[in-house]
Each structure stands twice: as C-alpha cells, then as structure tokens.
Amino acid sequence: MVKIGVQIHPQNTTMAGLRAAWQAVDDLGVDSLWTWDHFFPPLYGAADEAHFEGWQILAAMAVTTANVSQIGMLVTGCCYRNPDLLADMARTLDHLSGGRAVLGIGSGWMDKDEIEYGYPVRTPAQRLDLLATSLPRIRRRLALLQPPPLGPLPILIGGNGERRTLRLVAQHADMWNGYGDADTIRAKNLVLDQWCDEVGRDAREIERTVWIERADPVLMTSLVEAGAEHLILGLRAPYDLAEVKRLVDRRPEF
C-alpha cells in the first residue's frame, strides 16, 4: 500500500496551533510527519509572518506522537549545520522518537536564510558540492555514535536535479523526495534508475516519495502510476484537517 505523510508548515501560526495540528494528524492514521528547515517564510505569505525553527519542532513531535511510523525534516539545508553535528542531532531525534526518525537533507536554496543568519552565501553548485561532501561524513558519524540509532534512520535526499542531485540519491540515500506532476515524477524516476545502474545500486532500495500541495484524487492516482510510493501533503496554517482526511480516505485505492 502507498504510504502517506503530512508536512506541517511552521508558518503563520502559534506553537500551540502547531502542536494541536501535529497531534491531530497523528490521530488520523498517516504514516509520516514532517516539517521544513527554513528560518523565514520560504514559499508564500508575508516575509514577517510568524515562523518557528524546524529541528526543535521535530524533537517536540517525537515525544508527543505515538502513531506515525516516521518523523523527519523535509528537508534539512545541508549548509546550515556541520554534517557531524547533524548526524548526532538525527541520532538523538531517533532516540526521542523510539526509532522513527528520518534524516531528510538537501542542498538548500534560500539566500535569505544564509544572509540573515550569517552563513556564507553559496551558489547552487557550491551547495551541491557541500551536500556531496556532507553525506559520507553523516554516514561515518552515524556509525561512530554511542549509543547508535535505535531504528534504521534512513537518509532522504530531496530535489529534482538530474545531473547531480539524483546521482547523490543513487549513491547515498534510502529515500528520495521529488515534486511535480506525474510526467515529471515519471521522468525523474527513470533518471534515478539510470544513475542507480551506473553506480551499481539496486534502484528498488530507494523509496520514492513525492510532495503534494493538495489531496486531489486524480493527481494522487497519476503520481502513484508514475512510481510514487509515498505521498506527502504540505499542510499550511490554519491546518485544514479535512484535507488530511481526504488523503487518508484515498489510501485504500492504491
């Protein structure tokens, strides 16, 4: 059966509203729960809207949920934290959640996050360079940490870039997160399969996840037919749980 998840946006809300939303989603029967890793509203709304930091939210989710099988960031910007530290943070989250953590990571893209918080402003190519060097360090640190993760702690890489990002997925990831319509996802899946062949990886080892912004049955069906194994709904405040219920109700069709 296709897995379903919800990414709760930590924007234009209160912490009480966020907590009520993720606990309600946890009670609705979804498989995974996520938030995002930005310091300012990244996609919509006013630049000065209320906004909260994602990794602290994940820790709170980990100790106040019981039903979702996976909790993670969709996705961590690799430029924001030392990769060894990030591995340790994810291992700690895994213990807090009882072995349910996913380490979601990507190259990042939002200049304002870097400028306002004093990070070097990098080009897209430089961010991908950093992601490429960070992934082996993350794997190495996870193997050294004591105690080790409780669960499998899969690494998810987000992004659609065919030349570099999908190659990194083939080399390093357990899960891939993409976005777009069915034609886009089908094409990206084929590219990822080709990279797996080139690097000697069994493409079936990589779970294909797709971010969606609405629980549209036609869209969902087409994405599953294009190879999506895990649909993740982006949920913005004021958190319409009816949309989540529609997502849950559609799952048996797949």
Residue range 195-244, pLDDT digits in tens: 999 999 999 999 999 999 999 999 999 999 999 999 999 999 999 999 99
The pLDDT assigned to 35 comes to: 98
The pLDDT assigned to 252 comes to: 82
pLDDT digits (tens, 9 = 90+) for 157-200: 999 999 999 999 999 999 999 999 999 999 999 999 999 999 99
Task: Give the residue, 253 or 62, on which the prediction is more confident.
Answer: 62
Range of the domain at 102: 3-253
Q: Which residues pair with 72 in a beta bridge?
A: 34, 102
Domain count within the chain = 1
Whichever domain contains 219, its CATH number is 3.20.20.30
pLDDT-derived band at 254, boundaries 50, 70, 90: confident
Segment 46-72 mean pLDDT: 97
